[in-house]
Amino acid sequence: MSSKGIITIERHIIEAERQFPEATGAFSNILYDIAFAAKMIGKEVRRAGLADVLGYTGEVNVQGEEVRKLDEYAHEVLFKALDHTGHLCGMASEEVEDFIPIPDRFPTGNYSVVFDPLDGSSNIDANVSVGTIFSVQRKVSDHPRGCVDDCLQPGYKQVAAGYVVYGSSTMLVYTTGNGVHGFTLEPSIGEFLLSHPHMCIPEKGQRIYSVNEGNYSRWSAGQRRMVDWMKGATPDNPRPFSSRYIGSLVADFHRNLLYGGLFMYPADVKNPNGKLRLLYEAAPLAMIVEHAGGKATDGQRRIMEIEPESLHQRTPLFIGTSEYVDLAARFLAEETVEEPALAGV
């Protein structure tokens, strides 16, 4: 045990709250409730191969994809963990088309939560890591019980963001703007324990690029040039990057946060805005990466500054080590091939 002892997520949140004497505790309670929901979801994810939760429900979600039962379960768990507390004025979920009001029988509060309950769930059958992504915002509308505007806020207005990766262990990583902290679930006692305090993406980390290269023929010339350069297919890069792509955003992002690297889901001719969702995926991870010393853009603009127009809006995403995100922007902007100057090459 370290000299500081074991720090549970509850203790960590309480100690952070003490720095704000005016805090009501509402915000801390929201974070506990999300951590509780994550334990419930993690328990079901671990049983996915055993329980009768696999396969399709036959329904189609708002993205036009078949919904798996575990997605629905994860959504329900988060909703029910948060709906009755009196801390929220509404929610939005990747699994639901519209703003989710708080049921009339419960009081409302001054925050909203946006979440992707089970990202990467198409990987579940193959026992690949999946995740939950969440974002907390302050109520901004005049509507007494909240409205969609309370969820439709740009990333820089988030007051907290985090994700849970259900992998070889279950880990919850979050930031409230004061560092990025990771907690690993100790399953025997059911507690998230601080295992990764003050996470920083390595500035000189591993040279990793993560992208679905099967879309290569649909990419812009700049995007293709960048990946060609990264893999050393052009003579001006003597140190090729490694390619690592799980196809499960939280897992790909988490690896790159620990080791360094660049995750990309670019625009292509089929998906002119990319595939990933601004509110449920890009903005929360952008808040985390920025507080860990990295960057996130859509290739031009900082993700955190994009004003959302609709709940399910998509955005291209370039996220990870600052130097690589800057490199991506240069490749995407250049019409002609310039030798990119990458420090340390």
Which of 72, 83, 95, 116 is close enough to bind Mg ion by CB under 5 A? 116
90: left (phi over 0), alpha (psi -120 to 50) or beta: left
Q: State the first-to-last Cα distance of the chain, in angstroms, to the nearest integer.
A: 40
d(CA 177, CA 154): 15
Of positions 33, 119, 268, 323, contacts ligand AHM by CB under 6 A: 119
Binding status of residue 181 toward ligand AHM by CB under 6 A? no
* Contact range with ligand AHM by CB under 6 A, out of 14-22, 51-59, 145-153, 241-249: 241-249
> Rounded to the nearest whole angstrom, what is the least distance from the CB of residue 117 to Mg ion in the complex?
9
Query: Cβ distance 95 to 117 under 8 Å?
Result: yes
**Residue 197 in contact with ligand AHM, rule: CB under 6 A:** no
Which residues lie closer than 8 Å to 94 by C-beta, 6 or more apart?
61, 63, 115, 116, 117, 119, 277, 280, 281, 312
Give the contact letters, 274-303, x = binds to Mg ion (CB under 5 A), - = no.
Answer: ------------------------------
Residues 32-71 that bind ligand AHM (CB under 6 A): 65
83 binds Mg ion (CB under 5 A): no
The smaller minimum CB distance to ligand AHM, of residues 118 and 185, is found at 118
190 binds, among Mg ion, ligand AHM, none (CB under 5 to 8 A by kind): none
Kindly state whether residue 71 participates in binding Mg ion, applying the rule CB under 5 A.
no
Q: Which residue is it, tokens 């390595």?
A: 202
CB-hemisphere CA count at 13 Å for 277? Answer: 24
Does an H or E element contain 330, and which?
A: helix 322-333
* Interface characters, 242-261, with ligand AHM (x: CB under 6 A): -----xxx------------
Q: How many CB atoms lie within 10 A of CB 47?
A: 12
Among Mg ion, ligand AHM, none, partner that 55 touches (CB below 5 to 8 angstroms by kind): none
Residue 165 CA to residue 72 CA, distance in Å, equals 17
Q: Which does 212 bind (CB under 5 to 8 A by kind): Mg ion, ligand AHM, none?
A: ligand AHM
By a kind-dependent CB cut-off of 5 to 8 A, residue 129 interacts, out of ligand AHM, Mg ion, none, with none
CA distance 296 to 313: 17
Could you list the residues that contact ligand AHM (CB under 6 A)? Answer: 65, 94, 116, 119-122, 212, 247-249, 275
